[in-house]
Amino acid sequence: MKTSFKTAALIGKYKSPEIAEPLLQLARFLEQRGVEVLLDRLTASHIGDCPYPVLRLEELGRQADLAIVIGGDGTMLNIARTFAPYDVALVGINQGRLGFLTDISVDTMFETIGAILDGEFVAEDRMLLAAEIFSGDERVFEVLAFNDVVVSKGVKGSMIEFEVRIDGQFIYNQRSDGLIVASPTGSTAYALSAGGPIVHPSLNVMALVPVCPHTLSNRPIVISSDCTIEIVVRDADDPRAHFDSHSHFELREGDRIVVRRYPHAISLLHPAGHSYYGMLREKLNWYRE
């Protein structure tokens, strides 16, 4: 990750015209600090006569040192997947309630972004998941996920039965509503509501969290991110795979979902003094001292 930021990409929440004013204010602030400003195409469509270079997201990833996302955690998830192959640090500004990933408010963005440009920040490297789906020997789908890969029963209501292997070793057959493979970032998303553990983002692990398993002995498992997970659909009426709730694939019996750690991490920058535990305490309404 670069620590001297000369070019910043500004990216706003999709279909949110209200981000135009704070985004332009931030762009002018960055210019005053000597930082070149770039915008992505969808964000620029809310600006009107945009005075800044407008590029596709992939081009932004190749040219920017820093990406500042104005929106919520969902927007940050999408940008993290896109920018994962590039050495771009991400900062999240949230217009509403502060999120797990977007932890800077619009009210304090000038002060905080200024401090980040001065090198005052906390950096976290976050791992992503790389998923592939095979039908027989043919790879029919591949995608990245920042939070989780979910194999589910679909909308017809009956449970799904699948087989799980880790590094080629048989682990179990399971009947349930589904299975979540979560990154440490995703441990506070769907996996949390399904009874999975909260995993500190510095850990290189993956969590396998059953969703309403038919047998109560099926419990969450945390494994090394060096492992390869294979999930084979054995019996289901309407099986599907979901990735960060952003994309999905309709499965068939016999399909195999393979999940590994993606080789590139994404770097999130937080304000100086950021505490992961403090964030959990605030978001989960834990009692204060």
Count Cβ neighbours within 10 Å for each residue of 65-100 and write b for 16 or more, e otherwise: bbbbbbbbbbbbbbbbbbbbebebbbbbbbbeebbb
Condensed to tens digits (0 to 9), the pLDDT of residues 56-100 reads 999 999 999 999 999 889 899 999 999 999 989 999 998 766 678
Question: Phi-psi bin for 221: left (phi > 0), alpha (psi -120 to 50), beta?
Answer: beta
Which pLDDT score, from 0 to 100, does residue 268 have?
96
Element (H, E) at 163: strand 160-166
Instruction: Please say if 73 is a catalytic residue.
Output: yes
Q: Which CATH architecture fits 129-261?
A: Sandwich (2.60)
Distance of CA 280 to the CA centre of its chain: 17
Which pLDDT score, from 0 to 100, does residue 152 have?
95
Q: Are 180 and 160 in contact (CB under 8 A)?
A: no
Averaged pLDDT for residues 157-173: 94
Give the helix ranges, DSSP H, for the chain: 20-32, 41-44, 57-63, 73-83, 109-117, 190-193, 276-283
Please identify, in words, the CATH class of the domain defined by 7-127+265-283.
alpha beta
Rounded to whole angstroms, how far apart are CA atoms 88 and 248? 26
Q: What is the mean pLDDT of the chain?
A: 93
Can you give the residue ranges of every domain in the chain? 7-127+265-283, 129-261
Question: Phi-psi bin for 237: left (phi > 0), alpha (psi -120 to 50), beta?
Answer: alpha
Catalytic pick among 40, 73, 103, 244: 73
Count Cβ neighbours within 10 Å for each residue of 256-284 and write b for 16 or more, e otherwise: bbbbebbeebbbbbbbeebeeeebeeeee
Averaged pLDDT for residues 29-46: 93
User: Structure tokens of 265?
Assistant: 């991490």
Instruction: Check pLDDT > 60 for residue 1.
Output: no
Q: How confident is the model at residue 287 (pLDDT cuts 50, 70, 90)?
A: confident
User: Quick one: DSSP state of residue 56?
Assistant: -
User: Structure tokens of 197?
Assistant: 């553990």
Q: Are 220 and 197 in contact (CB under 8 A)?
A: yes
Instruction: Check pLDDT > 80 for residue 12.
Output: yes
Instruction: Check pLDDT > 60 for residue 182.
Output: yes
- Per cent of the chain over pLDDT 70 is 97
Give every CB contact of residue 263 below 8 A, 6+ residues apart in sequence: 130
Instruction: Check pLDDT > 60 for residue 144.
Output: yes
Residue type, 15: K
Averaged pLDDT for residues 165-187: 97
Instruction: Check pLDDT > 90 for residue 164.
Output: yes
Instruction: Check pLDDT > 60 for residue 28.
Output: yes
Rounded to whole angstroms, how far apart are CA atoms 86 and 182? 22
Instruction: Check pLDDT > 90 for residue 49.
Output: no
Distance of CA 60 to the CA centre of its chain: 18
- Four-CA torsion 134, 139, 145, 150, nearest 10 degrees: -20
Condensed to tens digits (0 to 9), the pLDDT of residues 95-122 reads 766 678 998 999 999 999 999 999 999 9
Instruction: Check pLDDT > 90 for residue 127.
Output: yes
Prediction pTM value: 0.93
Averaged pLDDT for residues 157-170: 94
Rounded to whole angstroms, how far apart are CA atoms 232 and 15? 37
Averaged pLDDT for residues 9-33: 90
Lay out the sheet containing 247-250: strands in order across: 221-224, 205-211, 178-182, 148-152, 240-243, 247-250
Averaged pLDDT for residues 188-197: 96
Place of tokens 């009692």: 287
Reduced to 3 states (helix: H, G, I; strand: E, B; else coil), residue 176 is: strand
